[in-house]
Amino acid sequence: MGNEKSALSGLEIDDKAVEITDFWTHHSSNIHGSNPQSLSVFISEPSLHSDCSFGKPSPLEKAAKNLMLHRHPCILKYVSSWSKGSKFFLATEEVKPLVQVIGSQTTLQICVGLYSVLRALLFLHENASGSHNNVCSSSIYVTSEGCWKLGGLEYFCRKSELNVAYFRKIKTYRYENAISPDEDTLMQSISDDPSAIDKYAFAVLAEEVLKLKDEDDVPGLAEFRELCKQKLDDVTLSSLTNHPFFMHDFMKIYAFLTELPLKSESEKEEFFLNLVSQLQNFPEKIVAEQLGKLLLSRMVLLDSTAQSKLLPFILKPKEKDDDSGLLSVSTFQACLVPKLLQMFCVRDAPIRLLLLTHLNSFMKTFQIDDLKHRILPELLVGIKDTDDCLVSTTLRALADLVPILGAATVIGGNRGKLFTDGRPNKVQRNKKIHHVTFGTPSKTINTLNVPIAPEIPAALYLPERPSPDGGEDKTEVSHSFPEEENWSDWEGQENETSIVQNGKLEDAPDTIVIEEEFATIPLSLPTSSAVKNYKKKPIISDISELDIKHSKSMSEPVEEIDFFTDMEPVIQKTQVLHVEEISTTTTEMETKSIFNVNLAPVATEDGDDAGDGWGDDDLDDWDVESPQQ
């Protein structure tokens, strides 16, 4: 049945048991990873069935084998099974025992659940040619979506194996109330009607779960309950599906959705045209829990009529009472979001396109962590696809995620302030004007509208740049200003700027008009050469190299504009004067200078002058032997 190699990787099993039976313990478990999943794990201990007359294989091993062989939407879904040491493990979809949730089930939910059990039994009888042999509440499980699933297949056996000896063998472990007092008599005709054992047990189950329900809750309930009290005498299970209790409007919708692949195109078109108005007659919780999975099935999503008439109402949560959606936000989050998270992991182009089209309607119902770690990675896979339509739709969906997750999360990489607010009208919102007068501005200096804080003198924002030694003329003033206020290259002009005074275009005066608002940085005016240098634009990467998650960083340093290029002092290289050696015939008539040094001759012992500086004879002072002349 299984071994350690087939054990699920990353599986964490809760220590606390959900259910304890004679054969196993039932635990909740989770699989962590890129696609988290919740499961139910059944663990069989040898001590739990040491006195069992089942022999080998153990009851859990037999149940696992039958679940693996007999797959049906209404039968507990098999995931995996394996042995580890003396224990045997069976993993199935996440479920809870019916006995733990039956108290919160409505009459309509019970009606749908009984119909699911009935369909599972018909499948076992007609397709598997066998009998379940223990239909009761303990063999039924309920998924997180509210669907009833038939389990307990450890008692299942083929029609050819049904005999008195087998039923005596398992009688001790079956539900006592579901065993007919006339079972020995039934066994004689079991070959003619192999469903006789299960029919009696199903009648007992239905009678128990509907005992306290109001007859007015569902049409046909009173008649069906009376029929169950008679243990379905003279009624077959297949004919029971046409009973009024299973034929009201909600059950018709449920039955049609489950049998959708068998319907014709005309039948499906007529069904989806009227479906929304029909669903509005039922409680939204019942619709979401019982029909949510069916309404989001592949067959529904790919139907053209359903795409236009149904999905806009299903995939758009109702935030207000007058909205057109079918489900409120809370119901949508509880019932449909888990299913949608799974659907985003499916690499099916039509399904993904459909989800992306409606993503903006329901993405706010996801948790931030789910958007960041489950939805976003799947969307980033979509932008690498060769389908242009899929890529463009994915990019639009990514744009919708930016306000929620932020651009840094969606596109990644380093970002910088590469654009400025260049709206001209932002500097026209003024109420007071300050006049700041400069010395003698150059002719290219003109009037600029510069916002400035009112409480600080305007002149403090325009300090004069000290002139370095050897620099420009002291009477010449040069200033720089932020590039966001330079509009010359926007209008393609490099000539002198002018202002309008009294309706005439004139040259700027020596006064700069500064509008008061809330500037916080000092500003000054550029020279003409600085304006010309401003035309250089930053280099942008080739478009073919762009990648949302792996693009080259655009925060690389950009060459700054030097507005002071023409202000740098020009310092010429020092000229070196080569002075010729003074001739011995030089007279005292040579020009005297304040830099001349009077070098008096130093007398030596021999009476000679030391005008030649350090000679070879002076080496004696350094204790070095003089060379021979």
3-state secondary structure of 99: helix
Please give the pLDDT value at position 561: 66
127-185 pLDDT, tens digit per residue, is 999 999 999 999 999 998 889 999 999 999 888 888 888 888 888 889 999 888 877 77
Q: 4-94 has which fold?
A: Phosphorylase Kinase; domain 1 (3.30.200)
Look up residue 247 and give its two tokens: 């034929």
Compute, in degrees rounded to 10, the torsion defined by CA atoms 300, 304, 310, 314: 60
Please give the pLDDT value at position 512: 45
3-state secondary structure of 148: strand
Please give the pLDDT value at position 594: 53
Where are the chain's structural domains?
4-94, 97-250, 251-411
pLDDT (mean) for 412-416: 77
318-362 pLDDT, tens digit per residue, is 988 778 889 999 999 999 999 999 899 889 999 999 999 999 999
Cβ 506 vs Cβ 519: under 8 Å: no
Higher pLDDT, 411 or 117: 117
Cα 262 to Cα 279: distance, rounded to the nearest angstrom: 22
410: enclosing H helix or E strand:
helix 407-411
Cα 200 to Cα 195: distance, rounded to the nearest angstrom: 9
Q: Is the per-residue pLDDT at 606 higher than 70?
A: no
Per-residue confidence band for 234, with pLDDT thresholds at 50, 70 and 90: confident
The amino acid that residue 257 corresponds to is L
Higher pLDDT, 574 or 339: 339
Q: Is the per-residue pLDDT at 227 higher than 90?
A: yes
Percent of the chain beyond pLDDT 90? 43
- For domain 97-250, which architecture applies? Orthogonal Bundle (1.10)
For 36-75, where are the E strands, in sequence order? Answer: 37-44
The 3-state secondary structure of 420-455 reads CCCCHHHHCCCCCEEEEECCCCCCCCCCCCCCECCC
Look up residue 515 and give its two tokens: 């509008």
Average pLDDT of the chain to the nearest whole number: 75
Per-residue confidence band for 560, with pLDDT thresholds at 50, 70 and 90: low
Q: 26-30, 266-270, 544-548: which has the minimum mean pLDDT?
A: 544-548
What's the pTM value of the predicted model, to 2 decimals?
0.62
The amino acid that residue 143 corresponds to is T
> Got the DSSP string for 222-280?
HHHHHHHHTTTTT--HHHHTTSGGG-SHHHHHHHHHHTGGGS-HHHHHHHHHTHHHHHT
54-93 pLDDT, tens digit per residue, is 667 889 999 999 999 999 999 999 999 999 888 999 999 9
